[in-house]
Structure 1
């Protein structure tokens, strides 16, 4: 089940943080902390890989609110969508571990905002995700320039480079839907 209580708590905490002056610039890295709960673990007593993706939602929500994107989403009646992701796992997260999640924008192209997120326990990276995200209006992804204009960063450029550009290129080569 989706962690609605945690999601609501993350929204309240992000609004409170922004209110007391802990807002983020669109170029910054957001950080939240939480504990791995018993509802997050699988039969191997570690955080379930599906839950990892779900909890990454909390980091993106915090980031959106604290950067002001959340306000723009509400004002413009926009939505957010994840159109692709890749996750790497390096270290197990066990029940009751204190987790630090980091979220930042890795790149932006004409249509997509590429977000990189990671989870850390005791200063060691446990997982890292790269997500292709978009802002939607009336069910369609809008150009990122409209988002940047609304955020007051009309001249901000962050083209995909390195592994992000390679991931985009590799994903473009992937047949969709896969042939049997």
Structure 2
């Protein structure tokens, strides 16, 4: 089940941070902390890989609210979409461990915003994900230029880092499953 209470709590906490003046720029790193709950673990008593991806939603939510994107989503009646992702797992996260979740933009192009997220326990990286995300309106992706203008950052230029561009290029060669 989706963690709606955690989601609402994340929004409230991020809004409180904004009220206190702790906003973020699009080039900043968002950090939130959480605990691995019993509802997050699998039969091996570690955080379920699917739950990791779900909890990454919370990091992107904090980032959106604290950068002002959240307000623009409401104002413009925009939505968010994840159009691709890759993830690597390096270290288990056990029940009740304190987790630091980091979120940052690692580039954007005319259509997509590329986000890197990672989870850390006791200063050690446990997982890292790269996501192709976009802002949507009426089921279509909004041009990044328009999103940046709405945020008052039309001059911001963050081309994808080389490793991200390599992923983008490799993804273009990805074979889709054959149709019957």
TM-score (ref. length: structure 2): 0.98
Which residue matches 2:178?
179
Structure 2: how far apart are the matches of 1:44 and 1:170? 33
- State the Cα distance separating 1:8 from its structure 2 match: 0.6
Which residue matches 1:120?
120
- State the Cα distance separating 1:179 from its structure 2 match: 2.6
After the TM superposition, which residues 1-180 of structure 1 pair with which residues of structure 2 at under 5 Å, given as runs? Answer: 1-176=1-176, 178-179=177-178
- State the Cα distance separating 1:97 from its structure 2 match: 0.3
Structure 1: how far apart are the matches of 2:12 and 2:56? 17
Structure 1: how far apart are the matches of 2:43 and 2:161? 39
Q: Which runs of 4+ in 1 moved over 4 A?
A: none
Gaps of 5+ in 2: none
- State the Cα distance separating 1:161 from its structure 2 match: 2.7
Q: Deviations over 1:69-100 (max 9, x none)?
A: 00111110000000000000000000000000
Gaps of 5+ in 1: none
Q: Give the total of aligned pairs.
A: 179
